[in-house]
C-alpha cells in the first residue's frame, strides 16, 4: 500500500460513543462499540498515514503505531479534535457523539432521598463537532458517518451539504446484523463529485480498508 495518497498524511479518527456524566458514577451513552473507528485507524496506518485515534473506548487493542487520545464526553472530544485540526489532513468522524448532555454534572454521587434526588434529568444540546469542523476547514478532507433507518441516500446527501463535509458513509441501521455494535457493516459512500458507491456487507476491517482506499483516491 506504499503508493497510497495517505502516505505521511495526518489522519484523525474518532471512535466510540461519548459518555455524558450525570454524576461521578452515572452517565448517558449509546451502543457504539468503536469497532469501525479502530478498523479505520488500522487501515489508515497500514496505508502509511500518521494516525491519531480519539476514542471513548478502553477495551479494544490500539493498532500498532496509532496514537491514542482517550476522552469521555462530546465536549472533551471536540476539544481534542479542534486543538489538533490545523495540523490535520483528514478527519474521519466515526464516533457516535451524543446529541445531548445533562445540563449539570455533579462531582459526587447523587444520593437518593437527598436534596439532589434525581427524578428528572434536564438535558442541553451538545455541539455538532463535525459541522463545526466543516465551518473551519481549509485544506482538510472531512468524512462523516450517517446512520439512517429510511431514505438513506437523501438524508446522507443533505448531511453532506449541511455540514460541509467531503464524504458521507451512510449505513442502514434498520438491519440488525450490520452497523452499531456488530462485526459486519454495509455502507453507501457519497461524495460531491461522484455517484454513490455501495460497499456490500462484509467484516468491518474489510469495509474500513475499502473506505481508506476511497478516501485516498479523493485527497
Ligand atoms: O447528524 P448526525 O448525528 O446523523 O451526523 C452523524 C455524523 O456527525 C457522524 O460522523 C458523527 O460523528 C458526527 N456528529 C458530530 N457531533 C455531534 C453529532 C454527530 O460530530 N454532536
pLDDT of residue 185: 87
Q: Is the pLDDT of residue 2 over 60?
A: no
Q: Does 167 map to a domain?
A: yes
Beta-strand pair 184-191/197-203: antiparallel
User: How far is the C-alpha of 97 from the C-alpha of 17, rounded, in Å?
Assistant: 6
| CA distances in angstroms from 43 to 33, 58, 78, 173, listed in the order given | 18, 19, 23, 23
- Please give the distance, rounded to the nearest whole angstrom, from the Cα atom of residue 116 to the centre of ligand 1: 32
- Please tell me if the CB atom of residue 82 comes closer than 6 angstroms to any atom of ligand 1: no
For residue 1, tell me if it sits in a domain: no
- Reported in sequence order, the residue ranges of 44-138 that DSSP labels E, i.e. its strands, are 50-55, 67-70, 90-93, 100-102, 123-125
Query: Is residue 180 scored above 80 in pLDDT?
Result: no
- Quick check: is 112 in a domain? no
The strand ranges marked E within 107-150 are: 123-125, 141-148
Of all residues in the chain, the percent with pLDDT exceeding 90 is: 77
Q: Which of the 8 DSSP states describes residue 38?
A: H
In eight-state DSSP terms, residue 159 is H
Q: How far apart are CA 88 and CA 138, in angstroms?
A: 10
**ipTM value for the complex:** 0.98
| Cα 146 from Cα 179, distance rounded (Å) | 11
Q: Is residue 114 part of a domain?
A: no
Pairing of strands 50-55, 90-93: unpaired
Within a domain: 111: no
119-150: per-residue pLDDT in tens? 889 999 999 999 999 999 999 999 999 988 88
Give residue 128 CA to ligand 1 midpoint distance, Å: 6
Domain encompassing residue 128: 10-106+119-218
Q: Is 18 in the pocket of ligand 1 (CB under 6 A)?
A: no
Task: Tally the domains of the chain.
Answer: 1
Q: Is residue 187 part of a domain?
A: yes
Mean pLDDT for the chain? 93
Of 121, 168, 162, give the one whose Cα is nearest residue 144: 168
Q: Is 86 part of a structural domain of the chain?
A: yes
pTM, 2 dp: 0.95
Q: Are 142 and 166 in contact (CB under 8 A)?
A: yes
25 pLDDT above the threshold of 70:
yes
Find the 113 Cα to ligand 1 centroid distance in Å: 37
Under the banding of pLDDT at 50, 70 and 90, the label for residue 179 is: low
**Atom 13 of ligand 1, nearest CA residue:** 130
Q: Whose CA is nearest to atom 17 of ligand 1?
A: 128
CATH code for the domain of 55: 3.40.50.10300
Amino acid at each position: 500500500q506504499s503508493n497510497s495518497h495517505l502516505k505521511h498524511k495526518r489522519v484523525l479518527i474518532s471512535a466510540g460513543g461519548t459518555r455524558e456524566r450525570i454524576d461521578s458514577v452515572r452517565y448517558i451513552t449509546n451502543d457504539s462499540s468503536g469497532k469501525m473507528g479502530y478498523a479505520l485507524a488500522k487501515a489508515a496506518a497500514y496505508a502509511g498515514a500518521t494516525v491519531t485515534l480519539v476514542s471513548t473506548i478502553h477495551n479494544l487493542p490500539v493498532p500498532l503505531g496509532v496514537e491514542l487520545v482517550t476522552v469521555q464526553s462530546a465536549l472533551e472530544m471536540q476539544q481534542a479534535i479542534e486543538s489538533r485540526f490545523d495540523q490535520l489532513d483528514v478527519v474521519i468522524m466515526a464516533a457516535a457523539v451524543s446529541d445531548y448532555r445533562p445540563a449539570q454534572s455533579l462531582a459526587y454521587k447523587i444520593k437518593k432521598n437527598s436534596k439532589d434526588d434525581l427524578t428528572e434529568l434536564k438535558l442541553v444540546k451538545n455541539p455538532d463537532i463535525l459541522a463545526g469542523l466543516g465551518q473551519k476547514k481549509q485544506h482538510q478532507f472531512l468524512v462523516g458517518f450517517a446512520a439512517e433507518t429510511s431514505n438513506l441516500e437523501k438524508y446522507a446527501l443533505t448531511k453532506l451539504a449541511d455540514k460541509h463535509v467531503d464524504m458521507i458513509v451512510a449505513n442502514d441501521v434498520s438491519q440488525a446484523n450490520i452497523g452499531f455494535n456488530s462485526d459486519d457493516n454495509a455502507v453507501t459512500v457519497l461524495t460531491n463529485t461522484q455517484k454513490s458507491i455501495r460497499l456490500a456487507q462484509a467484516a468491518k476491517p474489510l469495509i474500513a480498508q475499502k473506505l481508506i482506499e476511497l478516501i485516498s483516491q479523493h485527497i
